[in-house]
Chains A and B, each alone.
Chain A
Amino acid sequence: MELDGLYQEVILDHYKHPLNKGLSDNFGVQVHHVNPSCGDEITLNMTAADGKISAITWDGVGCSISQASASIASDLLVNKSFAEADAILNEFTELMQSKGTKEGNPEILEDAVALAGVSKFPARIKCALLGWMAFKDAAVRINTTIGRE
């Protein structure tokens, strides 16, 4: 069933046992993003140290795709430099826009390649990108904050 391409075991695992879910008390920056078409929401805390993302925690409500994708992103992007994280984010965005023509590079995207099937379901791409866009926003803001200090 084509649905199995969307709901890979890895995704359902992350959905049932999300990583880094639960907001930390301390953070460098906090962002809140919503998907207005379905009401999914995410709050994401980011901390940076020595040019690296040292911590990401998040909380939110949403479908399995949005929640699993946020879990995967939080695990994948932590302890990366901003440039490395940006490259991963671009690779993931490209995968999401590929309409099923790409499989994704597992060396870069790791568990996130399991989301490749989402690109065949246009209505779900926004779900998969919700956590990543929150991350992108947080990265921009935290760098602006650091720049001011």
Chain B
Amino acid sequence: MSFNVAKVRQDFPIFERTIRDGKKLVYLDSGATSQKPLSVIEAESNFYKFTNAAVHRGAHQLAEESTDAYEGARLKVAHFLGATVDEIVFTKNATESLNLVAYAMGNAEPGSRFALTSKDRIVVTEMEHHANLIPWQQLAARTGAELNWLEVTPEGRLDLSAINSVITENTKVVALTHQSNVLGTINPLEAITTRAHEVGAVVVLDACQSVPHMPIDVKKLGVDFLAFSGHKVLGPTGVGVLWSCVFEELPPFLFGGSMIETVTMTSATWAPAPRKFEAGVPNMAQAVGLGAALDYLSKIGMQSIFDHEVELTGYLINGLLQIPELSIVGPPNTDARGGSVSFTVGQIHPHDLGQYLDSQGVAVRTGHHCAWPLTRKMGVPATTRASLYLYNDESDCDALFDAITGAQKYFS
């Protein structure tokens, strides 16, 4: 392994603090948001200290430098994804990225490949985060299109047995997650992109839980849109990314400054992508911070990070399965799954379990994880989720195991 966790942790100032009266911080909630290395905090802060000016306007040196920094960050994102710069749009978060696609499709000219009518179909999956479900529910409601979905098996995998009857000739868009934020399941994209493209549909991928944890080459994924958030990939909050290879055909979503080519009192034309989708002064410092985060990850190597997490996920799952009355909600092995592991512990409600774990310094998430239809389908009112990242190691998992055992005694 080309990195060691103790060394990585030294780069993250937050691990210097303690939790609940001097306990070690055991951070197992990176699925919600990641911690930040000092280089990211400094990149964002230094932008404000030394470079701050509105990008793409202003006839002065600061404006020039801020534009370079912002566009430099775009180039870093492009390299990270194996894309080109004009395929990268900065948004405020992944939720906005996904809404951008849904709203822009709603703005498409009748007859274009993106325009939806009551004869068309939108396909999602049962394991979507609300951010990749509700925008499509709403688009369906606005256009009269039918919303359909691929179901989830009891083990937490996508059921592709009905793929041809779900993704039909009328399907215009298939939106799905790359890796479930609840189950950890990594979805098999090839079967889905192949079928979607066969019927002329575009594929929108929610990659929030995959981009931070594995090497991504958008050219190999075969999707048409990919969204991820900056704050889950060691970057700041307030910045997300939307990648697409079909931006040129898509109309804009937000209108205003920066995104135009010409404007009269009664009409306007649009700048080419990505500018067409970035109305207003953008989140410059946050984009620069995201660039620093991707530099940090690239230096360690995404394959090394992925390998580390798969190994640690195996350790986590094996340890959890030793605990009496504990059930994993999702695949109970490391086949095609990432480091988000949800579980229930006997009759202890996840919120109570989470509270006890917190008293031991262990930070997890509890509830339905913004995927309410999925938790319902899995037959549980809520779960507890431990999610791993590059700064976690076996000792974090051990602390979780001990704390769960402690909670079982406390609530018995």
Contact = CB atoms under 8 A, between A and B. Distances in A.
Contacts of A3: 355-356, 359, 410
Interface string A57-73: 00001111110000000
A124 B358 CA distance: 13
A64 B352 contact: yes
A65 B351 contact: yes
Contacts of A12: 411
Interface string B157-183: 000000000000000000000000000
B351 A63 contact: yes
Given A39-B368, A39-B382, A2 B20 contact: yes
B368 A38 contact: yes
Contact of B372 (A39, A40, A62, A63): A39
B367 A64 contact: no
Contacts of A1: 359
A2 B355 contact: no
A64 B381 CA distance: 14
A57 B375 CA distance: 27
B9 interface: no
Contacts of B375: 39
Contacts of B197: none
B366 interface: yes
B349 interface: yes
Interface in B349-389: 349-352, 355-356, 359, 366-368, 372, 375, 381-382
A104 to B, nearest CB: 20
Contacts of A6: 355
A65 B352 CA distance: 8
A38 B359 contact: no
Given A2-B20, A3-B359, A61-B381, A38 B367 contact: yes
Interface of B: 20-21, 349-352, 355-356, 359, 366-368, 372, 375, 381-382, 410-411
Given A37-B367, A38-B368, A62-B381, 4 more contacts: A39-B367, A39-B375, A39-B381, A40-B382
| Closest CB pairs A-B (n = 5) | A63-B351, A63-B349, A38-B367, A3-B359, A39-B368
